[in-house]
Amino acid sequence: MPEERPPAGAASDWTIPQRWQDYSAVEHATWDLLYARQFEQLPARVVPAFLEGLQQLGLGEGGIPDFELLSARLRGLTGWSVVAVPGLVPEAVFFEHLARRRFVAGRFIRRPEQLDYLQEPDVFHDVFGHVPLLALPAYADYMQAYGEGGLRAAHLGAMQRLAHLYWYTVEFGLMRHGDGLRLFGAGIVSSHGESAYALDDPAPLRIGFDLRRVLRTEYRIDSYQRNYFVIESFEDLLRQTLEADFAPIYAELASLPSLPIAVVQPGDRLYPRP
């Protein structure tokens, strides 16, 4: 668990200067390489709004984005900004930033020999994965509401429960797209391997989004997912989350067992395996 106090050099809200000037040529080249690899495979796989966000925010202009410039663009579109933090921050700090339309991002980038795997989110995951959709008003509203919902969940002792929703939407969500599926979760779109696996591999289950089902389903953080949840649209996701009162749902779920990963439950709407 992270310390409750910010480390030396960080402000009381845990933010640090990005020090964009200090990135090396190798670090910028690492971003460019990761960007090029994803840009090659994503256009046919990701929700169109993600590609529009990349474009509108100029994330492919070369090199690690300067958070000041990026935030200026984002603020003009949806009022969000991007701030740097030293690593994982306490949940309450994270929620507080989201509730104020600030996305917290790591400033470090993975080393060239870690292109496919790293344990902590770096600037590529945080910015390439999470920020493009913040240019979309419905998604921007969802993330702010999630922050507010997190602060509320903390008071209700339900923070761990709510985290399942974040995991299965913001990090690993899929969306129905005509007869097919598209990616939108940041954990998938920033991963070269999982971008293909999530849509093309027959192994994982793809289950229609249901709030209670998602909140009850376990998750693992150390491998590709073995079940994904599929939303209909961001508007539909907003309707089922932002417009719902979670307090009675937390109470109702407290006495129910959690659901194991990759086990079909009665009532699941399953998408056919590819």
Active-site residues, by number, are 125, 130, 171, 190
Task: Please give the backbone phi and psi of residue 183, each rounded to the nearest 5 degrees, phi first.
Answer: -85, 145
Which of 144, 225 has the CB closer to ligand PHE?
144
In the list 128, 246, 253, 259, the residue contacting ligand PHE (rule: CB under 6 A) is 246
Q: Which is nearer to ligand PHE, 124 or 142 (CB)?
A: 142
- From ligand PHE, Co ion, none, interface partner of 245 (C-beta below 5 to 8 A by class): ligand PHE
- Name the segment binding ligand PHE (CB under 6 A); options: 11-19, 122-130, 239-247, 258-266: 239-247
Q: Does 38 help bind ligand PHE (rule: CB under 6 A)? A: no
Task: Give the interface segment with ligand PHE, choosing from 44-52, 67-75, 145-153, 185-193 (CB under 6 A).
Answer: 145-153
230: which strand partners?
174, 208
**Does the footprint of ligand PHE cover residue 147 (CB under 6 A)?**
no
Cα gap 102→196, rounded to integer Å: 30
Residues lying near Co ion in the complex (CB under 5 A) are found at 186
Helices (H) and strands (E) in the chain, counts: 12, 6
149 binds ligand PHE (CB under 6 A): yes
Kindly list the distances between the CA atom of residue 150 and the CA atoms of 100, 163, 240, 242, 265, in Å, as whole numbers in the listed order.
12, 8, 16, 12, 27
Q: Count of alpha carbons within 13 Å of 202, Cβ hemisphere only?
A: 2
242 belongs to the binding site for ligand PHE (CB under 6 A): yes
| Residue 130 and residue 65 in contact, taking contact as beta carbons nearer than 8 Å | no
Q: Is 225 in the site for ligand PHE (CB under 6 A)?
A: no
| Cα–Cα nearest to 166, from 209, 205, 213, 215 | 215
Report the alpha-carbon distance of residue 31 to residue 52 in Å, rounded: 19
Select 49 or 186, whichever has its Cβ closest to Co ion. Answer: 186
Q: Examine residue 94 and tell whether it contacts ligand PHE (CB under 6 A).
A: no
Asked if 185 contacts 173 with a C-beta cutoff of 8 angstroms, the reply is yes
Residue number of the CB atom closest to ligand PHE? 149
Of 29, 51, 145, 262, the residue at the interface with ligand PHE (CB under 6 A) is: 145
3-state helix, strand, coil in the chain (%, to 5): 50, 10, 40
State the residues that interact with ligand PHE by CB under 6 A.
Answer: 142, 145-146, 149, 152, 165, 241-242, 244-246
